[in-house]
Amino acid sequence: MPTEAKRIFVSNRLPFSINMKTGDLQRGSGGLVSALLGVSLKRPFFWMGFETNEKMARLLKRHAPEITPQLQCQPVLLRRETYEAYYDGFCNDTLWPLFHYEGHLSVFNRDQWEAYREANRVMAAEIAKIATDNDTVWIHDFHFLLLPQFLREHLPQVKIGFFLHIPFPSAEVFRQLPVREEILQAMSHCDLIGFHEHSYLRQFIVALKALLGIDSSLFRAEVGNHTLHLGVYPISIDSETLMRKSRSDEVKAQSEQYREKSPLPYMVLGVDRLDYTKGLELKLMGFQRALRKYPELIGKMGLLQVAVPTRQKTPQYAKIKKDLDQLVGSINGEFGQPHYMPVHYIFNSVNEIQLLALYRNAQAALITSKRDGMNLVSMEYVMAQDLENPGVLILSEFAGASSFLSEAIIVNPWDADAVADALYRAFTMTFDERQERLATLQRILSRYSSTKWAEGFLHDLEEVEKTSPEGALFLPPRRLEWPAHFVRVLKRQTKLRLVVDYDGTLVALARRPEFAVLLEDMRQALTELCEKIEVYVLSGRSREFLDSQFPNRLVFLAAEHGAFFKPPRGEWHSQVTSDIQAWYPQVEKVMLDYSERVPLSFVEKKEASIVWHFRESPPDFAEFQAKKLDDELQIGMANAPVAISLGDKIVEAKATECNKGNFLRSLMQTASDDYFYVCIGDDRTDEDMFRVLGNQGYSIKVGPAETQARFRLQNQAQVLKFLREFSVFMDETFVLEPEQRKW
């Protein structure tokens, strides 16, 4: 009887910690902890996160069920040096500033990147120890951008969800990251990726297209034969619990004390971590502008700013504190009076009772984030407020919450006048308008809690239709991790044929065609396979080039997409019957014209085809000209026996017989015995071969592009590993007998 599918949550930190002084187990107070524990209390689930202390890890694993019986806490041990380089280094010094549009503060360090890779690999291996293909894994935040790919290599069919809790930057900013393609490719292995806000999703989509060439809609992206689902899921807070706590006797008593001691009739509250993303200097400058622009506010409006310390040893954070101290002093010096201090600045954290009391007391909350994934302080302020004495929320348009909290006053924090006007508007707003706005916001948050957020994401993730094992998404490079169905079917075959592309498959794509020569280790792998099965190299290359790369080899060669064929130790035979001269001179003239227009482009002439290459050309300009050339030839050659195709940095015109699908079909039809085919390729021309193959073999796509293939190798470097392991598999299974060799 199958076991119930597990839910496995993954975050950098676990939901519990050990008090170092008392040894007591403490539950985390963050919104994510409340959201995920709230949604999963009814069924067993796992929560995995890093721990650097082995003793602490044992205690957490042992005692977590005492607080949450259904939870199995799984600390993952990571060496402290690795953790510091991964978390303090790459996460906080590279990703955090870049994703918050502070690229000038982002520092890329190759050693820290390798530590980040290692941490993600360690987590994937630990998840694989407890997960099965039927389980659901929900990964949280920028600490694990590579984890989906590493996990997919272990568990091809597991459902993987990923939620980004910070903004996703514009493609232009994201391009600054040296490892941008690797990160996007890893993320594309997810089944569902969620964002707080539509703009983050749109920016991710643009990056997919710009950097990986993957087209997508707002709902999904087709990554080969895999569908990556996309969605917007604005996180919320535990609204009901927070509202109940804010009305407790302790909070009311604390709130009364604040009111008695405060000399100001109108208090504006700010609660932020001391981080450059929060725009604290913009808040102070906006408040300063309000006092200058509206002098009637002097003596009546004050700003209470709680700045929670963070990363105090980091020089840039120390500078932020110094600059803020000076700005606070400047404002108080300009507007202060014997009984009036405009800015009350607290560089410290406050406990929950104090915070809720401040929320209830404040007539307005001012949030001026430069960039913010969501900003839960804005929501907490709304739910802690009293409708009988309603306050006003002023919220930066660059906080994700601005798209959700429609009744807040939305401001551009860089516009000091706009912030000043918003403060004055809040100060002069009527009771009825304040109450109506607050009531609407509370109604929104009451109906959409953090638990609703988590349930909504998990529902969509678990509803995703997975591909069948026969169409497994990835073919991992390690033989023991090949999909079981793949191995099982191959073992049933008595005769196999390997049909493999050349450029981008056997060799890496090169700047110029003549540079893409076969390396010795690949020659050796093919030679070993030729002793066991029939190997066909089916390429767009010319006869002369293939002869130069495979002299005296036991490989079957097919040049110009199958227009010419040569068996081992045999002669070349032409398959072309159409009139090439009916189109070749005209196409050549047009292509030569484009090679004059586009710098570093050139024309490669072959017998039955002709190719315009632009790999070295300025990319944007060349891509546009390639589409124009393709369109011109498609129309001009519509009635000629020629096929025009736009490929990877090429536009190709070829005789109708130059078709890998037609070649494979002919090969399959003329075979005296039933062969099982394994076909590997990376280009659009290989899709013709994959379509023809159908159920008579296995098709394998190299690279991330959309495909009809049933399996995938992630890049050209994995082809050699696959062929070597394929050879080992042949040794263990069967070998082609000498009488079966037809050459």
CATH number of the domain where residue 209 is located: 3.40.50.2000
Q: pLDDT tens digit string along 642-695?
A: 999 898 889 999 998 888 998 999 888 886 667 889 999 998 889 999 999 988
CATH number at residue 683: 3.40.50.1000
The pLDDT of residue 743 is 36
Confidence band (pLDDT; 50, 70, 90) for 477? very low
**pLDDT bucket at 475, cuts 50 / 70 / 90:** very low
Residue-averaged pLDDT of the chain? 88
Co-location of 195 and 333 in the same domain = no
Residues 142 and 244 in one domain: no
- Bridge partners of 220, per DSSP, are 229
- 131 — pLDDT class (breaks 50, 70, 90): very high
Region 714-720: mean pLDDT is 89
Residue 465 is assigned to a structural domain of this protein: no
How many Å apart are CA 195 and CA 735, to the nearest integer?
A: 52
Residue 742 pLDDT > 60, yes or no? no
* Same structural domain, 676 and 719: yes
* Per-residue pLDDT at 446 exceeds 60: yes
Residue 469 — very low, low, confident or very high, per pLDDT cuts 50/70/90?
A: very low
Residue 650: which H helix or E strand, with range?
Answer: strand 650-655
Question: Quick check: is 191 catalytic?
Answer: no
Q: What is the pLDDT of residue 1?
A: 37
Model confidence at 739: pLDDT above 70 = no
**Same domain for 112 and 41:** yes
For 350-402, what is each residue's pLDDT tens digit?
999 999 999 999 999 999 999 999 999 999 999 999 999 999 999 999 999 99
How far apart are the C-alpha atoms of 653 and 633, rounded to whole Å?
8
- Say which residue the tokens 């000498």 belong to: 738
Identify which of 57, 47, 62 has the alpha carbon closest to the alpha carbon of residue 7. 47
Specify the pLDDT at position 483. Answer: 57
Does residue 183 share a domain with residue 67?
yes
Burial 263-276 (b: 16+ CB within 10 A, else e): ebebbbbbbbbbbb
% of the chain exceeding 90 in pLDDT: 57
Q: Is residue 461 part of a domain?
A: no
Q: Give the pLDDT confidence score for residue 478 in this predicted structure.
A: 37
Task: State which of 611, 629, 655 marks the end of a domain.
Answer: 655
Task: Render pLDDT for 33-86 as a digit per residue (tens, 0 to 9).
Answer: 766 776 665 667 899 999 998 888 888 887 777 777 777 889 999 999 999 999
* Collapsed DSSP state (helix, strand, coil) of residue 402: helix
* pLDDT of res. 249: 95
Buried b (16+ CB within 10 A) or exposed e, 480-493: eebbeebeeebeeb
Q: Is the pTM of this model over 0.75?
A: no
The answer to whether residue 428 sits within a structural domain is yes
pLDDT tens per residue, range 412-438: 999 999 999 999 999 999 999 999 999
Rounded to an integer, the average pLDDT of 149-168 is 95
Q: Are residues 255 and 323 in the same domain?
A: yes
pLDDT at 473: 40
Question: What is the rounded CA–CA span in Å between residue 688 and residue 224?
Answer: 15
Domain limit, last residue, from 232, 260, 292: 232
**Are residue 556 and residue 595 in the same domain, yes or no?**
no
* More confident of the two residues 733 and 163: 163
Average confidence (pLDDT) over 3-28: 79
CATH number at residue 601: 3.30.70.1020
Distances from the Cα of 450 to the Cα of 139, 163, 352, 573, angstroms: 17, 14, 18, 68
> What pLDDT shows up at residue 20?
67
Domain that holds residue 587: 580-655
34 shares its domain with 181: yes
Q: How far apart are CA 347 and CA 126, in angstroms?
A: 40
Average pLDDT rounded to a whole number, residues 175-186: 95
Q: Are 534 and 594 in a shared domain?
A: no
Examine residue 475 and state whether it is found in any structural domain, yes or no: no
Q: Quick one: pLDDT at residue 34? A: 67
Say how many domains are in the chain: 4
| pLDDT digit string, tens, across residues 195-209 | 998 899 999 999 999
Note whether residue 470 is domain-resident. Answer: no
Q: What is the mean pLDDT of residues 439-462?
A: 88
Question: Do 417 and 316 sit in the same domain of this protein?
Answer: yes
Identify which has the larger pLDDT, 313 or 572. 572
State whether 644 and 691 are in the same domain: no
Q: What is the pLDDT of residue 186?
A: 95
Q: Which of 414, 443, 472 is the last residue of a domain?
A: 443
The pLDDT of residue 2: 47
Please indicate, yes or no, whether residues 530 and 621 belong to a single structural domain of this protein: no
Find, among 60, 400, 416, the residue nearest to 197 by Cα: 400
The secondary structure of 48-79 as a DSSP string is EEEES-HHHHHHHHHHHHHH-TTEEEEEEE--
| Spatial separation of the C-alpha atoms in residues 378 and 151, rounded to whole Å | 36
Q: Is residue 346 part of a domain?
A: yes
Radius of gyration of the chain (CA): 32
> What's the pLDDT at 733?
63
Report the DSSP pairing between strands 609-613 and 650-655.
antiparallel
The neighbouring-strand residues paired with 229 are: 192, 220
Q: How many CB atoms lie within 10 A of CB 292?
A: 14
Q: Which helix (H) or strand (E) holds 506?
A: none
Q: Among the options 141, 372, 421, 501, which is catalytic?
A: 501
pLDDT at 203: 95
**Residue 738 confidence (pLDDT) above 70:** no
DSSP string, 143-183: GGSSHHHHHHHH-TTSEEEEE--SPPPPHHHHTTSTTHHHH
- Residue 3's pLDDT is what? 61
- Residue 218 — φ and ψ, nearest 5°? -70, -10
Kindly list the distances between the CA atom of residue 502 and the CA atoms of 506, 530, 559, in Å, as whole numbers in the listed order. Answer: 5, 16, 10
